[in-house]
Amino acid sequence: MHLSLQQKLTITLLIAFGILLMFWQIPIIPLAPYLTISLADLPSMLITMRYNHTVGIITATGIACGYWLCQGLSIIAGIGILASFLFNIVMLSLFYYHHRLHLFTASIITTFIMSMLCLLY
């Protein structure tokens, strides 16, 4: 896979933006502050739409590793980051393969349904 310097810099900047977004989480229900929505999946989704599935997974890996280094290399922090990374891979796979078939509305609906299922289980 050959990427130009501009593409590499775009990926690197979106990884840094994704790490910053991992620190900012929005609670779904104010009474249960542990149920949050993380917006850190957006940069890897943008990269997946722009380039391909492999680069999106590399971006998700960079976001997860960078956030883990910022949090400290502990097992407890790693479990949540691993769950977020696995969710990101499932979401990117579904989104990319539906997007490749030019079913944009179906890809958004399927991504939303799978996101909710991954959050529940």
Dump pLDDT digits (tens) for 52-110.
Answer: 888 989 999 999 999 999 888 888 888 888 888 888 888 888 777 776 766 666 667 77
Domain range holding 70? 5-26+38-120
Q: How confident is the model at residue 29 (pLDDT cuts 50, 70, 90)?
A: confident
Q: Is residue 12 in a domain? A: yes
Burial of 90 (0-12, 13-18, 19+ CB in 10 A): middle
Say if 42 falls within a structural domain: yes
**By the 8 A CB rule, do 108 and 84 touch?**
no
Query: Is 53 part of a structural domain of the chain?
Result: yes
Residue 22 falls inside a structural domain? yes
7-11, 33-37, 57-61, 77-81 — which is least confidently predicted? 33-37
Asked whether residue 97 is assigned to any structural domain, the reply reads yes
**14: CATH:** 1.10.1760.20
Question: Is 100 a domain residue?
Answer: yes
Give the closest residue to 118 by CA, choosing from 75, 74, 67, 82. Answer: 82
Q: Which amino acid would we find at residue 43?
A: P
How many structural domains does the chain have?
A: 1
Q: Report if residue 31 sits inside a domain.
A: no
